[in-house]
Structure formats: structure tokens, C-alpha cells
Amino acid sequence: MADSKKIYPRTGDKQTVYLKNVITKPNIEVGDYTMYNDFVNDPGEFEKNNVLYHYPINHDKLIIGKFCSIACGVKFLFNSANHTLASLSTYPFPLFFEEWGLEKQNVAESWDNKGGIIIGNDVWIGFEAVILAGVTIGDGAIIGTQAVVTKDVPPYTIAGGIPAKPIKKRFDEDTISDLLHIKWWNWPKEKISQHIGAIRSGCIKELMEV
């Protein structure tokens, strides 16, 4: 699939990267051809600037599929940003275990762990959107500018707002079902290239006949 070493997919463009090739942390997985654009910061600093409160103690993962488009300033906000709601206080006492004589190994009790974040394939996430821990965004979905996504978004659904809510489906249910069956993003590069016209023009019939 994508060149295993290529960081910048466009000649002369240092604002856009193939995200997979700038990831170093084992708890972040990114598929081929997914790209991130940043005109404010170095896009190579994605792990530092865009994946927040993501600490190994939680064992939560960020999984992003293939062919996703992630706009400048998108944030993935993980579990350590939360404060537990099970306590009578939201103050994170276990985090300051030394001050309060608590056990160090219980530090994660400071927050509620809602799990990782899963982004499907061919997902477009708009400028400065925020995705919260525990959320799954389905294949082909679109997340609007500055949306705050607190709940799962179904495949091929456009969602936006604070908190983000479904606005409409991108296609009719039959077309969505066909696309989820075809999974063109898993095809070899040569096969995608051969049928890229049908993908771009929306000729689902041609893709179904491949």
C-alpha cells in the first residue's frame, strides 16, 4: 500500500503528512494513506499536539483506519482528561497520592476510563473537531468543523455540533450497505487505481461488479 517511508505525500507541501509514518507510540495505530494537515504546527508533532491525556497506564488505544482525512487542530481527548463521577468529589485525590497518603498503583482511579477511540476508514474529520474517549466513528463518516464528538457516529453519517449529533446520511441505506460490503479501502493500490474513476464519480454499480 502506501510507501512505508514516505512522510510527505505532496511535493513541496510540508503541512500534510501520511500520518502512519510519523507515529512512534505503540498505543496509536493508523492505516495506509490516512493524512493529517496542519498549517499552525508541525504535522509531524501529531502525537504531542493532537493526542491528549493519552497515558500508558490506561491501556487505551487510538485506532485510525485507512484513507482518512484529518484537518488542522483535530484533538483526540483520552481518559486521563476525565475526572471520576463515582466519587463525592471530582478532585483527583489518587493522582496526588503522595500528598494524601494513598497507594501509587491506584492513580488511575482519578478518572473514569471509557476506553479507546476508534476511527473507521475513509473518515473526514473537520477543522478543530474534538473526539472524546470511548467514541467509535464508522467508515465513511464526516465530522463537522469544531464538533465535539461524545457518542458513536454510524458509518457514512455526517455529524456536527456541540455535542455532535447526526445531521444526515451521505447515501441511501442500500448504497451504504454496498460500500461496507465492498470495503474498497482494503483493495491493493493497483485495483484502487484501476477503479478510481468509479470511486470518485459514485458509480457503485461498477465497484459491485469488480
Question: CA torsion 187→188→194→199, rounded to 10°?
Answer: 30
Q: Do residues 196 and 92 both lie within one domain?
A: no
Question: Is the confidence at residue 2, as pLDDT, over 60?
Answer: no
Calculate mean pLDDT across residues 95-117: 94
Please give the residue range of the domain that contains residue 96: 84-110
CA distance 24 to 37: 18
62 and 153 belong to one structural domain: yes
Q: Are residues 43 and 120 in the same domain?
A: yes
Cis-peptide, bond into residue 163, ω within 30° of zero = yes
CATH code assigned at 134: 2.160.10.10
Q: Is the same domain home to 31 and 124?
A: yes
Structural domains in the chain (count) = 3
Contact 33, 3 (CB under 8 A): no
* Residues 184 and 165 both lie in one domain: no
Which one of the listed residues 59, 83, 181, 195 is annotated catalytic?
83
54 is catalytic: no
Same domain for 122 and 31, yes or no, is: yes
**Residue 4 reports pLDDT greater than 80:** no
* Model pLDDT for residues 172-198, shown as the tens digit of each residue: 999 999 999 999 999 999 999 999 999
Clarify whether residues 206 and 131 are in a common domain: no
Note whether 126 and 31 are same-domain residues. Answer: yes
Residue 5 pLDDT > 90, yes or no? no
Same domain flag for 144 and 176 = no
Asked whether residue 103 falls in the same domain as residue 148, the answer is: no
pTM of the model: 0.94
**Rounded Cα distance, 37 and 192, in Å:** 23
Same domain (yes/no): 31, 102: no
